Amino acid sequence: MTIEPASLVAHRGYAARYPENTRESLAAAVCAGARFLEFDVQLSADGVPVLLHDDTLDRTAGQPGSVFELNAAQLSGIEVNDTARLGPAFSGVRIPLLRDVAADLTAWPGVTAFVELKPESLVHFGIGYMLDRVLEALAPVLDACVVISFSAQAVAEARRRSACEIGWAIEHWSEESCETATALAPGYLFCNYRKFPLPPAPLWPGPWRWVAYEVTGLELANALVGRGVDLVETMAIAELSAAARAISPGTNPSSAAGRA
């Protein structure tokens, strides 16, 4: 089986070539044909959702400090150029507020966003508080969003508090995780493909769609689809999309998939 370009998820946007979790990275992914985006959310010291994977600033901003020590105004002024990886090309790219990314989503009809609640903020602020802040920011585009997390409790609470779709990210491939997934019945199950059991062991059947990450090559993407994976998450969205289109020339990524 071969993967369709519309079945690719842009992991932190087009993070292979742009600073991850930025408006620029997400826009570049959409321009590359992505129908699914994934990005990470932390809360600032004053409880405002921002796009960051880590709860510290050293990796992407190149400076010390914690997201929990700075308010939203301070964080939104910090550049996350990732110069160690990308050089000086993205001077001026800053930490985005979730509400601004939600506004961007209104201009991208047919695009679904997987919004990951990071565990550091869930622990620091509590599940209920974080969900209130995130769901408020996503309210204008909630039908185009899927709230995801490694915390089963957090996504279960998201479902209880709103009509949003949910997805659960699996920490360990185990019988206990399978039981949790069955009880939770999320719309999506995320898993690092390296944690899957070796073929021919099957993936768990259920009402969910499988999302495998972090994939860079077409051969691996096709093998995962052959095992029953529905969506493949990649930081190299443009490259993998181009490779998929090359073997699926009839695919139109602008119309092949809609909102989840």
**Residue 107, domain member (yes or no):** yes
Task: Report, as an integer, the average pLDDT of 147-155.
Answer: 98
Q: Considering the chain, what percentage of its residues have pLDDT values greater than 90? A: 93
CATH assignment at residue 179: 3.20.20.190
Helix, strand or coil for residue 202? coil
Q: What is the pLDDT of residues 7-40, one digit of tens each?
A: 999 999 999 999 999 999 999 999 999 999 999 9
**Residue 69, domain member (yes or no):** no
Give the pLDDT score at 1.
83
Q: What is the pLDDT of residues 212-242, one digit of tens each?
A: 999 999 999 999 999 999 999 999 999 999 9
**Residue 23, domain member (yes or no):** yes
Looking at the DSSP bridge assignments, the partners of residue 116 are 40, 148
Query: 250: pLDDT confidence band, cut at 50, 70 and 90?
Result: low
**Residue 255, domain member (yes or no):** no
The answer to whether residue 258 scores a pLDDT higher than 90 is no
Helix, strand or coil for residue 203? coil
**Residue 62, domain member (yes or no):** no
Give the pLDDT score at 253.
41
**Residue 134, domain member (yes or no):** yes
Distances (CA, A) of 54 to 27, 28, 58, 73, 108: 21, 22, 9, 18, 26
**Residue 18, domain member (yes or no):** yes
The answer to whether residue 4 scores a pLDDT higher than 70 is yes
Helix, strand or coil for residue 87? helix
Give yes or no for a contact between 121 and 45, defined as CB atoms under 8 angstroms apart: no
Give yes or no for a contact between 43 and 258, defined as CB atoms under 8 angstroms apart: no
Q: What is the extent of the structural domain holding 125?
A: 5-57+97-247
pLDDT, averaged across the chain: 94
Predicted structure pTM score = 0.94
Number of domains in the chain: 1
Query: 249: pLDDT confidence band, cut at 50, 70 and 90?
Result: low
Task: Report, as an integer, the average pLDDT of 91-102.
Answer: 97
Q: What is the pLDDT of residues 160-188, one digit of tens each?
A: 999 899 999 999 999 999 999 999 999 99
Q: How far apart are CA 247 and CA 249, in angstroms?
A: 6
Give the pLDDT score at 259.
35
